[in-house]
Amino acid sequence: MSTLIEAIEGDITTQRVEAIVNAANSSLTGGGGVDGAIHAAAGPRLLEACRALRAESLPDGLPAGEAVATDAFDLPARWVIHTVGPDRRAGQTDPDLLASCFTRSLDVARDLGAKSIALPAVGAGVFGWDAAEAARLAVDAVRAHPGVEEGEFDVVRFVLFGEKTLRAFVDALRR
């Protein structure tokens, strides 16, 4: 069975999938955009879980390109997978680091046994990556992931904000 890879415009916090990906900051303490929306919708226990991760295993924060999971609490998903995109505005311009956000998120989802996952356009917001470049890197990373190639996921859904970003991902999926 093959994995469905799709792109929609919508609110990632309302997706009925097993795991949603949070475009987090390295402190895991919430912020703006997708990160703030996920923290608000998940409720205060998400922040508590993130603080526990920081205290137990991530004292310096989550590095860019890596991913880690928590429960999703008040969200319809079961898990939140937090990943930190490279901040292009701060000189983090390595495309492999941005692609790693998607690869590592899928690795974590696979380890959890999640069959459905929703991902935002990591890096394409305040971190300054061009939507088309972020989309190309994201789609290529997802397509090349062993769990996708082997059909271990039922659906990988890019949930995007805004027509420009949606169009960039739809175009990347058509390639």
Catalytic amino acids? 35
86-92, long-range: CB within 8 Å, 24+ apart, which pairs? 86/123, 86/127, 86/129, 87/127, 87/128, 88/123, 88/127, 88/128, 88/129, 89/126, 89/127, 89/128, 92/64, 92/127
Q: Tokens representing 67?
A: 């991913």
How far from 162 is each of 11, 42, 49, 95, CA to CA, in Å? Answer: 11, 22, 30, 22
